[in-house]
Amino acid sequence: MKKVAIGSALILLFLTGCGETTGSRSLSGAGMGAAAGGVIGSMSGNFGTGAAIGAGVGAVGGYLHDQHKKGNID
């Protein structure tokens, strides 16, 4: 199960940058993070908490990726 969680996290990391604008990249990151967090959370017994944490992490990841693409972050 640990391998599945790590693999899912890596796939989501690469897909976080989907979108053209800051909002779309943050939103797609939040959606993918919520999905991954829900899966990981359900393995540990709490789907909702996992999804909420995943959504937050995904949104921040999408935003940071967008800022990097725009050259605002090295």
Q: What is the pLDDT of residue 36?
A: 82
Computed over every residue of the chain, the mean pLDDT equals: 79
The type of residue at 35 is A
Does pTM surpass 0.75?
Answer: no
pLDDT at 2: 67
The mean pLDDT value for 11-20 works out to 63
Please choose, from the candidates 9, 18, 14, the residue with its C-alpha nearest in 3D space to the C-alpha of residue 53: 9
Q: Could you tell me the residue ranges of all domains in the chain?
A: 20-69
